[in-house]
Structure 1
């Protein structure tokens, strides 16, 4: 395994800042500066283009380590890594239409993810944002994107909208816009239970123009085998799962520490109590089931395994199973830590709040089941 881009010392620095970001509902600005200096934002960029040249398996391992120290920082930077991972996956498969993402990431640009919309359960496969075509091939986007992580800092925003006026409409349009473009407004509306440092504020778009050379796809709405959409879905679900796996890894560490440091009434450590031992073991067994899934999916992406229509089922299932497993591990850890975990300053209490975000992020439990049923049983009549 190649040497990590993130040293143990740097991870401890991130851990030391995480509680302060959470308490102040503040963006992880210092962490981001350190990640830039470490070359982390170029993790997926090929070495020939000036990056670290990591594959999906390696980036997953990095994100697990980062999330174990600072979940919000990991989730926030995840959005940039998703776009660079998409560009790499497509380039590996012979499609260079997003090579500019890798070039710009190598040059220091930071990519945000503008896909989520209120009321849009279709996510990638539909949009409530309008994409109005212009004569030269550009598009103007009007709508509101929610959960725009990195909102204080992104310099490029990948987004989508629905073209309803072209002769071949409707078409979903995927494009990139720069920060500072006319019509972009970042709202100050992020005050959440967990994952607070991501500062995933809403982004209001009012006729924002994407230049023709930054319009990267026009596809039919609905599930699609298009390489761009598959690459987005694959990287999103995989790297999101890695973040939550990191939370689980840290919760298990804290559970083990609580079992060895807390005392029973007779003064012996709780690690000698059979019920405590069972809870720690149960948490470990649960996490042991997470790692092979993550590694196998990442390896298949790297090795370009063709799983056809099965891919969407496997990817959505990975995310749902990982979040479910990690929530169980965090619950066990809190039970082992006792009442101290209920304090707002408790790291375990923060992990408990952070892991809940996974319930709301795609794929949800309902959408994952719908995806699996469609793959196995076909679409509804």
Structure 2
């Protein structure tokens, strides 16, 4: 670990405010506007933006540690902010590799813009390699997009929506088009944000469905036209690497908080049978030790892989397997740790207002993010065994 101190950007008093609000937003199914305001004021939305452009100049490794800390206080806030940080992280990945194609993202984040991630589509298991959204070229070099995006976090507040679609009409079609649509398209009616987010957990993300009806991305916000399917382009690598690592960071933060709550509860609960605190019970001690053993493996993996992205390390054909693997391990370990924490805490955690009860619901969302378990195993199998023969 480095000497970077995440408490400078996320001090304890700020985290306690966010934690107190998290229960309210979960109960009321509302977006955490106050959290966003506090994080903006702290410069958090520009942590991955270079100092010369008005940001904190941090790397992905430092952002991962910050997101772990934020998720321990307010998981849904952390997951929502994650999607903004993905685009600023992709901008950093490109800039580090000599491309300024997303410089406007860095400048916008430093100026207070909020970037949302409009990639997910119902039934699209191709994810970055295909799209059910139509991308139609316009005479001035822009594109219009028609389709439906799901799980669009930050729906009430985003100012720029980064998305993709498939161009099937150009001379070199088909082409995957990556671009950014401004919030003004909501006012024109070409973007419709449905108020349909009523979920089991991660409620404050307000990841609503977004309907695109010839939504226009201007020419200077069209950042890539790529052939469908696996592609070595740095944009694809940037999206996949930053998305997987920051997602894993959020769920690692949830795991840490569940472990802390289990330890605190074990110290407070007393056995009627023995008269001793549950922290002295050998079965409880074994369970908490098992939780800690699982958790302790996660932060070093995130640190190492995040630094490898920052340092432009070469893992060759293993990159996607490593990234999918760390996300899969973080999510599955976090779920198991929360499960064990609930067992340690007992029946009080079954109430919806209990923090562990909320973590139990929030951690389930990790199963739905790419790479899902099937995709992760397929990616790793291909990396080690080669592709499936026809």
- TM-score (norm. length: structure 2): 0.96
Which among 6, 16, 28 is matched to residue 24 of structure 1?
Answer: 28
- Match runs of 1:59-74 below 5 Å: 59-74=63-78
- Deviation, 1:371, is 1.1
Which among 285, 304, 313 is matched to residue 296 of structure 1?
Answer: 304
- 1:328 correspondence with 2:332: no
Between the aligned partners of 1:201 and 1:54, the Cα distance in structure 2 is 30
- Deviation, 1:375, is 2.2
Between the aligned partners of 1:20 and 1:87, the Cα distance in structure 2 is 34
Matched residue of 1:309: which SS? helix
- Deviation, 1:282, is 0.5
Which among 187, 200, 207 is matched to residue 194 of structure 2?
Answer: 187
- 1:137 correspondence with 2:144: no
- Match runs of 1:3-152 below 5 Å: 3=5, 4-152=8-156
Task: In structure 2, list runs of 5 or more residues that go unmatched.
Answer: none
2:259 aligned partner: 252
Between the aligned partners of 1:210 and 1:90, the Cα distance in structure 2 is 20
- Deviation, 1:302, is 1.1
- Deviation, 1:93, is 0.8
2:204 aligned partner: 197
1:312 aligned partner: 320
Matched residue of 2:211: which SS? strand
Between the aligned partners of 1:332 and 1:279, the Cα distance in structure 2 is 7
- 1:368 correspondence with 2:383: no
- Deviation, 1:136, is 2.0
- Deviation, 1:89, is 1.1
User: What is the CA deviation profile of residues 170-197 of structure 1, one whole-angstrom value per residue up to 9, with x for unaligned ones?
Assistant: 1100000110213011001100000000
User: What is the CA deviation profile of residues 245-267 of structure 1, one whole-angstrom value per residue up to 9, with x for unaligned ones?
Assistant: 00000000001011111011132
User: What is the CA deviation profile of residues 281-333 of structure 1, one whole-angstrom value per residue up to 9, with x for unaligned ones?
Assistant: 11001101111111111110111101122111110111001101111110110
1:225 aligned partner: 232
Matched residue of 2:151: which SS? coil
Which among 4, 29, 32 is matched to residue 2 of structure 1?
Answer: 4
- Deviation, 1:134, is 1.5
User: What is the CA deviation profile of residues 15-50 of structure 1, one whole-angstrom value per residue up to 9, with x for unaligned ones?
Assistant: 011000000001011100000000000100100001
Runs of 4+ in 1 over 3 A off after TM superposition: none
Between the aligned partners of 1:28 and 1:94, the Cα distance in structure 2 is 36
User: What is the CA deviation profile of residues 137-180 of structure 1, one whole-angstrom value per residue up to 9, with x for unaligned ones?
Assistant: 11110000000000000000000000011111111000001102
Matched residue of 2:184: which SS? coil
Between the aligned partners of 1:315 and 1:283, the Cα distance in structure 2 is 23
CA RMSD after TM alignment: 0.8
Matched residue of 2:30: which SS? coil
Matched residue of 2:9: which SS? coil
Between the aligned partners of 1:237 and 1:249, the Cα distance in structure 2 is 18
User: What is the CA deviation profile of residues 71-96 of structure 1, one whole-angstrom value per residue up to 9, with x for unaligned ones?
Assistant: 00000000000000000111011011
- Deviation, 1:377, is 2.8
1:347 aligned partner: 355
Which among 359, 363, 372 is matched to residue 367 of structure 2?
Answer: 359
Between the aligned partners of 2:267 and 2:175, the Cα distance in structure 1 is 58
1:216 aligned partner: 223
Between the aligned partners of 1:59 and 1:273, the Cα distance in structure 2 is 38
- 1:278 correspondence with 2:286: yes
Which among 176, 180, 195 is matched to residue 180 of structure 2?
Answer: 176
Report the count of equivalent residues: 381
